[in-house]
Chains A and B, each alone.
Chain A
């Protein structure tokens, strides 16, 4: 069922590929479920094929103090091992494979930086911070989660200055304060651009909706 393209593809140069459609992104979710349920090695190889090059770009974008490009493949390796190990806990109704793997990558990156910079080791691991929505999460709230395709489309529509700041925060791993220093913008401007971007993408819950929940 799952045909691995790994062997034929691994020697091809990777480039910026066009954004994938919803159906394709669905495919990764199915593959991740197969890994979780039946330890499917072929499915894992396909996931690796797709995600490893993306994860490497993510790793190389990091501007954290103490991070250097040589760590990029270590991160890819660590993330993919975690994916194999933790796939059983992945719930496709709550998050897509892409979102789930991003959270694994984010947390692995934090872990690696901590291991490098601290003599003391934080006695926590990535999954201690990551919470999946529980079974009792109201369905109305889950519906609020937008489809990835819509999120992707709205990203393309963002004004450049908002897109730039989101990328600095999420990909380069900078705090709002660090972005403010780097761009020479007041902290309030950085925060309001982030807020505007997420409001525009309809990611933030409208305040009136939040109030209903209290």
Chain B
């Protein structure tokens, strides 16, 4: 049975099911769903609703030659591309994260954020959010910090804690703009998280040049 304690809220699952979430947030939800039976099933029910809405909205006549075009296209697909599987980049990492990593943990370009935290930005082809992996070393403390926008986090490996709770594999967290936190890695091993950090609309801090690396984000 699932030990996951923190889930996306229902509205987020609904927007995921409808396909209207920003891609970076959808990546985080998909990563959580990889670990979470409960949300996976909630999504199945939401997708059922969506499919019935689709069905009840009627039929539209299609072009006479459309089936022929589809048949021509499928004749060109090589058989061996059916049912491709993707092996996890690391441990029980979600396929979506493994795909974005395009390699293993070692092959990512890690940048030091502080003595105990490293960050590797993932290329996602959108600029609303910076999507990255964060690595907190065992027992590592991060300085107390906030961000200039929403921050979504999914724990991929190990666990970390903050002032409020302990977060383990599969847990999904949302910190709103301006909420401060101080994550600390668990003593028994390093913690790897997926995060999506919203690009701030504007920075009002006149001492921007002194900004901590936490506020400098670089969506790619």
Contact = CB atoms under 8 A, between A and B. Distances in A.
B15 A175 contact: yes
A169 B47 contact: no
B30 to A, nearest CB: 5
Contacts of B49: 151, 155, 166, 170, 198, 201, 203
Interface string A156-186: 0000000000110111011110100000000
A118 B128 CA distance: 12
A84 to B, nearest CB: 5
A137 B18 contact: no
B83 interface: yes
A155 B55 CA distance: 11
Interface stretch (B65-73, B151-159, B160-168): B65-73
Contact of B44 (A45, A54, A133, A176): A133
Given A52-B67, A80-B70, A166-B49, A128 B95 contact: yes
Interface in B93-123: 95-96, 99-100, 102, 123
Contacts of A11: 64
Contacts, number: 235
Contact of B66 (A76, A101, A131, A152): A76
In this complex, the interface size class of chain A, counting residues with CB under 8 Å from chain B, is 35 or more
Contact of B70 (A81, A122, A128, A178): A81
B125 interface: yes
Contacts of A208: none
Contact of A105 (B43, B46, B54): B54
A169 B56 contact: no
B37 A124 contact: no
Nearest to B14: A194
Contacts of A148: 48, 51-52
B162 to A, nearest CB: 19
Contacts of B40: 131, 133-134, 137
B10 interface: yes
B203 interface: no
B96 A54 contact: no
A120 B124 CA distance: 9
A60 B57 CA distance: 10
Given A54-B54, A128-B96, A204 B42 contact: yes
B18 A106 contact: yes
B204 interface: no
B62 A144 contact: no
Nearest to B42: A205
B30 A138 contact: no
A86 B83 contact: yes
A195 B42 CA distance: 13
A131 B40 CA distance: 7
7 contacts: A95-B44, A102-B54, A137-B41, A170-B50, A171-B54, A198-B10, A204-B10
Given A124-B96, A175-B21, 10 more contacts: A15-B58, A52-B62, A53-B60, A54-B58, A54-B59, A85-B77, A98-B55, A148-B48, A175-B20, A203-B46
The 3 closest A-B pairs by CB, nearest first: A53-B59, A102-B51, A120-B125
